[in-house]
Structure 1
């Protein structure tokens, strides 16, 4: 009997070792020499709402934002019932940007977000396709009006709203046809006879002239442990991604851009399509730019069946402020990148 127990114990240990050998923990998020004043964000759809929230809440430290098919700050006011209005789906009832500016002023006065006066120095790129049936143009028009009323100068605010695109990140050649409103929510469009490079357009608007994008990549894509920054209750995934150009690995001073996927666009839904095929990495390669790809998954707790970022309050009423769970997680990742 003792022999059988010993054999069983040995077998259990061996099986446990084999199972553990097949599961590799994600890497720790690495750190680099970073210019903290050169941090920017962008996103599509719910990722665009999140990019707006980050830009407004952390306006003292985030240089600029790219907003692709996203509505204005705090539009839903913590109430999912307002989501259809915030997406421009209710005819003759677009979002009221003045209400959102008033809310932002209250948050700033309570020191829940940075002072809105910082937005006067920030650069904002906004995009709305004429064929977008998910977040329609009246909602995105309100985003532009919000930033205007919040103090962003006209010269710093670019609004691209004539391209016959559906609901998607736009690339020169990858993805669906331009008018599509379908997964993977990446489409190719032409503007003036040339493929439209949206990642390049928004990065150039934010940073000014850049080196040409790379035709091939020599950097590395890091899969890192996102749980170090975001507990399961945030709805965020176990793992997230970071693109690291060789120049950043070599110790050069680098910028940081946070690229935020939309609903049903995380690695859980698409694999690495958003991370690999939206063009950010090619622009990062020659421009000393780290690209952070945070991830949020579909979940039942919190209730988030489409894997959307929180722009309506499913993680709590403070979701759009600096104490919002997802907001704090992303900001902590940005901070950790520069702890070298």
Structure 2
């Protein structure tokens, strides 16, 4: 009788065919490239705009400026003590009926100064040197112009002088591009990326890193530039951040050279705009990467995903009312030590470290 002898390596061969492709898809670490941390900037839309303000104010010592698209002032959800943080966030900070029902700027400025005095955020005096670009679409009924007016008021109250506030574009609640394939300018609908014939990403970067003429910049734009994924989970220290395991980053080739020190621009998406919802629409198709090479900028795209359990964040928003500290009656979502702010800061620290530092 003939015995069927199997090759003892055959099982391992089959197994290797399965495992090797998996190994090649292991998530890369965010690299250390020696970026100039003291020249960092940030921008974002909607909940990402609130997060922009939180990151800007908490870490003002390293910030050069910010772009705030449809977002309220720092600590906005604490405007009126008779309301909960969530009630303030959903009403006061989005579409209040009147100015008097909107963000309480005198109280917020007082609270901000107190946090700085306690060392929980950087000194507010740092903000005076920043370059700010504020944008409010005239058709935006999600975060109204009343709120954005008070965002400008907040920064002016803290002594910021260089503020460009654009509010004359008939835009809905969205980040604005010049891509004809995007939604119409006045729309407010997913994925909240609208074509208004202007690039907010370009205008924000040009404001913060002034000195480059836009007409000279355009020929250098690289619309094909694509961000790549990295392991975001290593920077997350709390189980309640609602942050994704994967973040995205675009690093121009020049920024990988030893004799070039690039800066970092952090980009916060809005609600329902994370990669798990709209894939690469925000981190590859909103115009930021196209100008990264011209400005020697590393584009960092932290990610939040929807969560319907604990924490409760069904639309995948950045935290500006306290969901990331669900068991704390006085949640911290706004200081340097808060779950999301500290996680993103660790990413910035990594990018600014020398390649041998970690």
TM-score normalised to structure 1 length: 0.90
Query: Displacement, 1:21?
Result: 3.5
Corresponding residue number in structure 1 for 2:183: 176
Corresponding residue number in structure 2 for 1:90: 96
Query: Displacement, 1:97?
Result: 1.4
Query: Displacement, 1:15?
Result: 5.7
Query: Displacement, 1:248?
Result: 0.9
Counterpart Cα distance in 2 of 1:17 and 1:86: 57
Query: Displacement, 1:290?
Result: 0.4
Counterpart Cα distance in 1 of 2:302 and 2:26: 17
The 5 A counterparts of 1:280-319 are 280-299=288-307, 300-316=309-325, 317-319=331-333
Counterpart Cα distance in 2 of 1:180 and 1:102: 37
Counterpart Cα distance in 1 of 2:287 and 2:157: 31
In structure 2, the gaps of 5 or more residues are 1-6, 79-83, 326-330
Query: Displacement, 1:216?
Result: 3.3
Corresponding residue number in structure 2 for 1:49: 50
The 5 A counterparts of 1:191-210 are 195-210=197-212
Counterpart Cα distance in 2 of 1:132 and 1:181: 7
**Which 4+ runs in 1 deviate beyond 6 A?**
10-13
Query: Displacement, 1:224?
Result: 0.4
Query: Displacement, 1:255?
Result: 1.1
Label 1:200 to 1:29 Cα distance change in 2 as closer, same or farther (>3 A).
Answer: same
Query: Displacement, 1:16?
Result: 9.1
Counterpart Cα distance in 2 of 1:102 and 1:20: 57
Counterpart Cα distance in 1 of 2:13 and 2:115: 55
Counterpart Cα distance in 1 of 2:54 and 2:223: 31
Counterpart Cα distance in 1 of 2:44 and 2:68: 6
Query: Displacement, 1:318?
Result: 1.3
- Asked whether the equivalents of residues 171 and 196 of structure 1 are also in contact (C-alpha less than 8 Å), the reply is yes
Corresponding residue number in structure 1 for 2:244: 237
Query: Displacement, 1:85?
Result: 2.8
Query: Displacement, 1:220?
Result: 5.4
Counterpart Cα distance in 2 of 1:282 and 1:47: 20
Match among 95, 107, 113 for residue 105 of structure 1: 113
Query: Displacement, 1:218?
Result: 6.7
Match among 217, 223, 229 for residue 229 of structure 2: 223
Counterpart Cα distance in 1 of 2:16 and 2:120: 47
Match among 333, 341, 344 for residue 330 of structure 1: 344
Corresponding residue number in structure 2 for 1:4: none
- Asked whether the equivalents of residues 219 and 244 of structure 1 are also in contact (C-alpha less than 8 Å), the reply is no
Counterpart Cα distance in 2 of 1:216 and 1:125: 23
Label 1:205 to 1:215 Cα distance change in 2 as closer, same or farther (>3 A).
Answer: closer
- Asked whether the equivalents of residues 319 and 327 of structure 1 are also in contact (C-alpha less than 8 Å), the reply is yes
Query: Displacement, 1:20?
Result: 7.1
Q: CA RMSD in A?
A: 2.1
Counterpart Cα distance in 1 of 2:69 and 2:146: 14
Please say which of residues 173-182 and 216-225 is displaced more in the overlay: 216-225
TM-score normalised to structure 2 length: 0.86
Corresponding residue number in structure 2 for 1:67: 68
- Asked whether the equivalents of residues 128 and 160 of structure 1 are also in contact (C-alpha less than 8 Å), the reply is yes
Query: Displacement, 1:209?
Result: 2.3
- Asked whether the equivalents of residues 63 and 122 of structure 1 are also in contact (C-alpha less than 8 Å), the reply is yes
Q: How many residues align?
A: 326
Query: Displacement, 1:215?
Result: 4.3
- Asked whether the equivalents of residues 120 and 337 of structure 2 are also in contact (C-alpha less than 8 Å), the reply is yes
CA offset digits 1:136-189 (Å, max 9, x no partner): 111111111100111111xx0111011100001111124110001011111011
Label 1:278 to 1:313 Cα distance change in 2 as closer, same or farther (>3 A).
Answer: same
* Secondary structure of residue in 2 paired with 1:60: helix
Query: Displacement, 1:302?
Result: 1.2
| Structure 1 residue 150 corresponds to structure 2 residue 150 | no
